[in-house]
Structure 1
C-alpha cells in the first residue's frame, strides 16, 4: 500500500524524497508487489529487500533527487546482481516534494502512468470498482500505470505505560503497517525524547480518565508501573469495550486481578477476554523479548479475527468489505 503519511513526514523533514516501489516481478522476489522504501540524501526508510538490489536502488534514487521525475527499471536478480532469488524485479522510482505530496491529500488510490499516457480501460475499471463496489485494488502495474491503494490504519492500538516494556513495544510495533499507536503515561518526562513517527503520545496525571474517549474497537496493552493503575484500566475498559486487551503480569498477579475484577462486578466471561500474561513466556522477561512475543500475538490475533469475519460473512451471504466511494487519485493521462 502507498503509505502517504510516511511520505508526508519524510518530505517535511528532508525535502525531496524518492520513493522506490516493487511494481512487478517474474519468478521469486525478495518482497511483494507494493513493498516500498523512501530515500533521501542522508538516509532511507523502509525496505524492498534483496541486499544488493536495495543498495543499487538507493544509489539510483539519490542520483534522481536533484532532477526529479520517475523511472522504471527491471532487474534480473541472478545475472545482474548475483543474487540467488532467481527472478526479475521491476522497480518504479519517483521523486516527491511538498507540491506532489500535497496533491495526494485525501486520495484513496494513487494511480499514475510511468510516462504520460491515457488511462487504460483496465485501470478505469479498477477505479470504478473501488468507487462503486468498495473493492479496493491490490498494488499492481497495469499497462504502464502503477496502481496502489493508500494505506490507512486498520487497527488502533493503545499502549498504556512508557517504561522499559512500553518502550520496547513501541520500538517493535511502530514500524508494522496498518497500526495506529497511541502511547499513554502520567507525565511527559516518562517518554523518550525521540518518539517514532506515527505514534501519538498522551500524558495525563490520571490516565484512566482517557478511557471514555477510546474507540470501542481499539486494542490495548497495559504495561504501566502501577498495579493499581493496571487494575483500574482493566476495570474501566471492561465497561467500555475493546477489540483486544493484554495485561502484563505473572500468573499470581492475574489470579488476584481476576478476583478483584469479579468483586467489581465483572462476570467470568467478561474477565476471560483479558489476555494475561502477554507475549510468549518461553522467550523470557527481557523487555525486547516480551515485545517480540506480543507482536507475534497481535499479528496472530489479527489473522484469526479476519478469518472469523470472512467465515461469518460467507455464512450470511453478505459482502466482506465496504470501502469509501470518493477520493480516488487519477494522476496523469486525463
Structure 2
C-alpha cells in the first residue's frame, strides 16, 4: 500500500476512534521543493500534551512527512494552532532562511483539523434521561449516563450508552475533553445536583452545561454555588431551564426539547472548525 493510502487509512482510524488530529496536505509547489503536491502527513497531540495544547511534538505524534527539517517544524507549529483554535488553515512557506533551506521553492499547505465528536454526559438516570438517550441513539452524539443506582443505570434501560456508576468518575469524564462535551445535570436530588455542578464548574467547564429545573431551582442552586466560592461568571454559564420552547412537563416531551437543544449546540461546536484566511508568505 502506498504512503498516501496508509495515511488516509490512518486518518479514518483516528476519526473512528474519536481522536483529534490534523491532516496536512501539500496543495501547491513552485520551484525546487522536497515533496510534490498531494503529499500528506498526519499530526496529532501526544496524550500527555493534549490538555496543554502548547508543547512540542513528541515521538509518535506524527505519521508521514512533507519534507522534514525546520520546514516541517514550522508546519507542525501551524498544526498546533489548528488544534488550539479548532480550525482549518492554509499556509504558504518560502523555503528560505526561516525554513533553514536554500532551495528557494514555495510550498502551499492545507491543514485540516479533525476534532473529537461531541458527546453528551447525563448526570441522573431518571425518566427524562432514559427518553433522551433513546432519542439521541441514532444521532452522531455519544451518550454517557452517570448514576450510582444500579437499578436505574442498567443495560436494560440504557442499552447503547456508556454507563458510569461513580459521580466523581462522571465529572472526570465530562471535564476531560471539555471542548467537545455537553453535560446535563438532572439527578433525583437537588443536593446531588449541587455537588455535580460544583465539580463541573472549573477551568475545564464543558462546552455546554445544562441543569434541568425551574427558574426558582436555578436561583436556589446558583446562590448556593456562589456562596460556596464558585466564580459567579462560571455559575452563570450553566443553562437553566433547558430545552427549546415550552413543550410541557411530560418526560418524553421534555427529552425531545432538550435533544433539539443539544443537537443545535453540537452543530455550533462543529462550526468552530471553519476555514481561516490564508496566511501571508513566510520568508
Normalised TM-score (structure 1): 0.47
Match of residue 126 from structure 2: 163
Equivalences for residues 35-114 of structure 1 within 5 A = 108=12
Q: 1:225 to 1:270 in 2, by over 3 A?
A: same
Match status 1:181 vs 2:143: yes
- Contact 1:159-1:222 at 8 Å conserved across structures: yes
- For 2:134 and 2:209, locate their aligned partners in 1 and report how far apart those are by CA, in whole Å: 19
TM-score (norm 2): 0.54
Contact 1:171 1:196 in 2 (8 A): no
SS of residue in 2 equivalent to 1:108: helix
Partner of 2:193: 230
Contact persistence 2:130–2:157 (CA under 8 A):
no
RMSD over equivalenced CA pairs, Å: 3.4
Aligned to 2:99: none
Q: Identify if the C-alpha distance between structure 1 residues 237 and 307 changes in structure 2 by more than 3 Å, giving closer, same or farther.
A: same
Are residue 219 (structure 1) and residue 182 (structure 2) matched? yes
Gaps of 5+ in 2: 1-8, 14-37, 43-65, 67-74, 80-113
Asked if 2 retains the 8 angstrom alpha-carbon contact of 1:158 and 1:182, the reply is yes
Partner of 2:229, secondary structure, is coil
Post-superposition shift, 1:161?
A: 0.9
Instruction: Pick closer, same or farther for the CA change 1:275–1:316 going to 2, 3 Å.
Output: farther
Unaligned 5+ segments in structure 1 are 1-104, 110-126, 135-150, 319-334
- Structure 1 or 2: more strand by fraction: 1
Distance of 2:148 and 2:278 partners within structure 1: 45
Residue 304 (structure 1) aligned to one of 268, 273, 278: 268
Question: CA-to-partner distance for each residue in 1:18-72, whole Å, 9 max, x for gaps?
Answer: xxxxxxxxxxxxxxxxxxxxxxxxxxxxxxxxxxxxxxxxxxxxxxxxxxxxxxx
Q: Distance in 2 between matches of 1:153 and 1:172?
A: 21
Shift of 1:258: 1.5
The structure-2 alpha-carbon separation of the partners of 1:188 and 1:256, relative to structure 1 and needing over 3 Å to count, comes to same
- In structure 1, C-alpha distance between the alignment counterparts of 2:217 and 2:242, rounded to whole Å: 12
Q: Which residue of 2 aligns with 1:287?
A: 251
